[in-house]
Amino acid sequence: RKEVEQDPGPFNVPEGATVAFNCTYSNSASQSFFWYRQDCRKEPKLLMSVYSSGNEDGRFTAQLNRASQYISLLIRDSKLSDSATYLCAAAPAAGNKLTFGGGTRVLVKP
C-alpha cells in the first residue's frame, strides 16, 4: 500500500460546478499536509497548506480528518483554468520529507 494515495481521476466537472476529492495517508505520524497543483509539463505549485481546523482560500477549501487519515480538497464554482492535476503531500513532524500522492486529474469543461 502506498503511503499517500489519491484517486487518479479524471474528474470531469462542468464549469461552475463543485468538485471534491480526497487523499488518504497511512503514516499516522504525518503532521503537515499540503495540496499542490501541477499543470501539464510544469512544476508543482503550492496551492495551500492543510490545517487541523480546515482552511479556505477563495474557491478552495481543504479539510483534514486525522481519525480517518485523509485530507480533502473542494473547489467551488469551477473555472476552466482549474483543470490540472492536484497532488497531495504529507510530512512528518520532524524533518521535511514530503511524500506525494500520485495526483488527481481534474478536467473542467464548458
Q: How far is the CB of 66 from other proteins (least distance, A)?
A: 15
- Position 69, amino acid: Q
Residue linked to cell 497532488: 87
Those residues with Cβ within 8 angstroms of residue 53's Cβ, 6 or more apart along the chain or in another chain: none
Which span sits near other proteins by CB under 8 A: 16-24, 52-60, 72-80, 94-102? 94-102
User: Which three three-digit cell numbers place residue 54?
Assistant: 480546515
* Cβ-based burial of 96 (10 A; exposed 0-12, middle 13-18, buried ≥19): exposed
Piece in contact with other proteins (CB under 8 A), picked from 10-18, 44-52, 59-67, 70-78: 44-52
With contacts defined by CB under 8 A, name the span among 16-24, 31-39, 52-60, 65-73 that binds other proteins: 31-39
d(CA 55, CA 66) in angstroms, rounded, equals 15
Using CB under 8 A as the binding rule, whether residue 87 contacts other proteins is answered as yes
Interaction of residue 96 with other proteins, rule CB under 8 A: yes
Binding site for other proteins (CB under 8 A): 31-32, 34, 42-46, 49, 85, 87, 91-100, 102-103
